[in-house]
Amino acid sequence: MPELLDKVAPRGVELGELARLLPARLIGDPARRVHTLASLADAGPEAVSLFQDKRYEAAFAATRAGAVIVPERFAGGHPSASLLLCADPNAAFSSLVERFCPPPPPPPTGHDPRAAIDPRARVHASAAVGPFAVVQAEAEIGAGAVLYPGVVVGEGASVGAGAVLFPGVVLYPGAQVGERCVLHSGVVLGADGFGFDWRGRSWVKVPQRGGVELGPDCEVGANTTIDRARFGVTRIGRGVKIDNQVMVGHNASIGDHSLICGQAGVAGSALLEPGVVLGAQSGVGGHVRLVSGVRLGGQSGANHSLETPGDWLGFPARPYAEALRRMAAPQQVERLKAKLRDLEQRLERLERAGGAAPEGAP
């Protein structure tokens, strides 16, 4: 995208002006012009980049970027790049992204005549309904909500004001989506929970008659599924952010402002208190409770309740420091073996000596 900033500012932007916008302290030529944003590795002299994570020290040293946004207390320098020192480099870069990157196209408006809207549904006049979307009886779509093409809103389901459902989202009957929620493509809310009892010859379905509710301001990633409850409600709190391909089981409860990374799974009736973080591909067992402030690492598994805030890792999940010790155990086994061999040899020597032990030997 060498022409990225040029879409907005065809002749580029002077670093002096960027420094005023961010704001940032500039070390370099204020008249120098930049035209785009890029990562340290991809950037050329026409690009602004970002450096604040030490893992990228080598990339920073080698970058050809025209300018780099760095932390305020940054002490180093750079052979070719100008530096823009900011209190919050990440936020500064985000503001550049927002200011200069082309925004996504505006959402559709109006009720497309090719949508199938049941006459008994209540769709706000200001809501948008795309082609081939389906809104069934007694469903309710709030003011300014957007249903992209192919969305299905089941009977009696509700979509809060300002919520956005990307193409192909499915709400089963009765599912409730809070205001300003964003549901990405392929999200399924309210499919039956997974409950079967073995009755001698076959699995018999445990009826799944509860609901599913998302609080306001949630974002749910593509192809994530959140099941309806057996009875009562599967509840996602307010401001919860869920990544792609996450699975939340029936009757689970996810506390406000929790963060769930990609491909994680939360089994039935699990309870996450507010402010829990689940790493990618992690799992939380059925009926397990995680207290506020628990951060479960990637690929880890909480098969029992975690009652102490902080970082947990591994399967079964342990406090971070303990988990690292556990991971180091195999190497210690090698060292123990060597040590044991040494002790044994010394012991054998003593035994041989003792066997020949003359008078007076202790």
| Token digits of residue 191 | 């499919």
For a second copy, the closer of residues 144 and 239 by Cβ is 239
Q: How far apart are alpha carbons 136 and 140 in whole angstroms?
A: 9
Please answer whether residues 38 and 47 qualify as being in contact, where contact means their C-beta atoms are separated by less than 8 angstroms.
yes
Residue choice 120, 209, 310, 321 for contact with a second copy (CB under 8 A):
209
Distance of CA 120 to the CA centre of its chain: 37
110 in contact with a second copy (CB under 8 A): no
Q: Is the dihedral of CA 125, 126, 129, 134 positive or negative?
A: negative
Q: Which long-range contacts (CB under 8 A, 24 or more apart) does 163-170 make?
A: 164/107, 166/222, 167/130
My answer on whether omega of the bond before 23 falls inside 30° of 0, hence cis, is yes
Quote the least distance from Cβ 265 to a second copy, whole Å.
5
**18-26, 60-68, 79-87, 225-233 -> range binding a second copy (CB under 8 A):** 225-233
Q: What is the footprint of a second copy within residues 43-62 (CB under 8 A)?
A: 53, 55-56
Residues 234-273 touching a second copy, rule: CB under 8 A, are 239, 241, 243-245, 247, 249, 251, 257, 259, 261-263, 265, 267, 269
Calpha distance 172→167 (Å, rounded): 15
Q: What are the beta bridge partners of residue 214?
A: 177, 236
- Find the binding residues for a second copy in span 67-106 (CB under 8 A): 90-91, 94, 97-98, 101-105
Q: What x/- string results for residues 1 through 40 when contact with a second copy is judged by CB under 8 A?
A: x--x--------------------------------xxx-
The least distance separating a second copy from the CB of residue 131, rounded to whole angstroms, comes to 4
CB of 320 to a second copy, least distance (A): 13
Catalytic one of 111, 184, 250, 257:
250
State in angstroms the smallest separation of the CB of 77 from a second copy: 24
**DSSP letters spanning 193-239:** P--EEE-SSSEEEPP---EEEE-TT-EE-TT-EEPPPSSSEEEE-TT
Binders in 142-161 for a second copy, by CB under 8 A: 148-150, 152, 154-156
Q: Distance (Å, rounded) from C-alpha 302 to C-alpha 75?
A: 42
Indicate whether 312 belongs to the interface with a second copy (CB under 8 A): no
Shortest Å distance, C-beta 244 to a second copy: 5
Cis, bond preceding 316 (omega within 30 deg of 0):
yes
As a whole number of Å, the end-to-end CA separation of the chain is: 84
200 binds a second copy (CB under 8 A): no
Q: Does 310 bind a second copy (CB under 8 A)?
A: no
Residue 140 CA from chain centroid, whole number: 29
Q: Is 250 a catalytic residue?
A: yes
Catalytic residues: 250
